Structure 1
Amino acid sequence: MSIGNSPEDERPFEDEREEPGLSVGRALQQARIAAGLTVDDVTNATRVRIAIVQAIEADDFAPCGGDVYARGHLRTLAKAVHLDPAPLIAQYDAEHGGRPTPTSPTAPLFEAERIRPERRGPNWTAAMVAAIVVVIGFVGFTVVKGGGDGSAKDPVAQGGATPATSESATATPKSDKPADATPAPSDSAIAAAPQDKVTVRVSAVDGRSWISAKDHNGRLLFDGVLKKGQSKTFQDSSKINLVLGDAGAVQLYVNGKKIDDDFQPGAVERLTYTKGDPQVG
């Protein structure tokens, strides 16, 4: 039997949605029933787990894991059952203390935790670059000084110039080797990711998205917002755990291979990738 195909079946749902006191979860449940969809149908369409769909329809948002995830789930489920998500999200905010006012247009969550590990990396890089510059300068000074001594000995012995030339030729590779030994890391090097590790690259191609990444020990690697056009690369010896706040705006590359999962705009995805071929844990 088909449910919700006739205008008569849909009118009561539209009227009930306007009734005062109709909860967010009840509105989603009524819209799903009116559309002739089961919880399994909604789960297959949105990739939101059955337990979370059932909890939201019962107005239990604890399994969502926080207001950010709850709003993302509400947006995804509302679209799946043909509801405008904006009134539902506004009602959710009103019932749960309202959406917090951001300090800036792109202020990420847990900004202190996000900035701390990023600052530590550039400090070490700057120290290494400074050390390389000092080594190159010292070698260059030695070469120049050796060349000057050789020219002073030319009137005495022609062969005196030969050691200086030889030293210069020998010293040149030494100045090049430190510069090549510590190249700056690049996200494009993911195609040559080592086989004994898992390498994940996240690119915000269709808009900005909140990203959280942890290694196999649960240590936080990144927690913040990627703007459109930005990318982040994460690497671990065995496993990378990801949470994508807007999976539809993100493109993933795992161990050098593009992940072609059809993520929905606004959908919240929790993913785990391991070594070898891309596989979702």
Structure 2
Amino acid sequence: MQEQSIGSMLAAARQSAGLSVPQVSAATRVRETIIHRMEQDDYGQCGGLFYARGHVRSVAKAVGLDPEAMVHLFDQQHGGAPVPVRAAAVFQADRTINLPQRRGTNWTMALGVALAIVVVFGMMRVLGDASDQAKTGDGRVASARPVVPPNTPITESPQPAATAEKGMVTLQIRGKRTSYVNVRDAEGRKLFAGTLEAGKTSTWQAAEKVHVLLADASAVSLQVNGKKVRGLGGRGEMVQRSFGPPKPKSR
């Protein structure tokens, strides 16, 4: 099956939602001309890849698609995400400042230059040292994030006692090819969102229901409550599925 382009997916989702291009333009503040070009996979009027990623994210959200999944596909087709620019590099001086020589010392100008240098170096220090970690009194580093991030999948097989718990859903995904996967619980909380590498198997558990979005349905295999899921979709097809707990056995 031929892989769907980003433009065709945006157009199909817009039409499925019953929205016109002017309505999407009003909701996203993206010009109608740019939206028409994006649906034809032409990003030349977006002003560069950075702005094109933002337009893809906004339009995808407006037409009901997962914005993170669409930006991930855009990055895959256009050479990956842009490299972030360090703040220190922005404030680094490219050339030496040559002050004109005067007969007498202009203390006002000298004081202004000194203050400007102090401000610039102060901003460089604050922006360069900012991070999610704080140093403790004994020199150790204490992370501001939780010890186990919520985005970390359970790589070990679930224990039989946990799988048998009433109302729980157990989802296991194995990557055939590297692909984007998004997993959420019944309340919409994110269990995992990112790239699942080829050959890796990950398992999640949640109460009542699990929602799954696959950027490429044929790139993974799924097991729900110990049973393999068949007929997910073709190559390059984006699929959204929901799964509930196992049905109780009839006596």
Q: Give TM class, smaller chain.
A: 0.3 to 0.5
So what's the TM-score if we normalise by structure 1? 0.38
Which structure has the larger Rg? 1
Give the alignment's TM-score, normalised by structure 2: 0.42
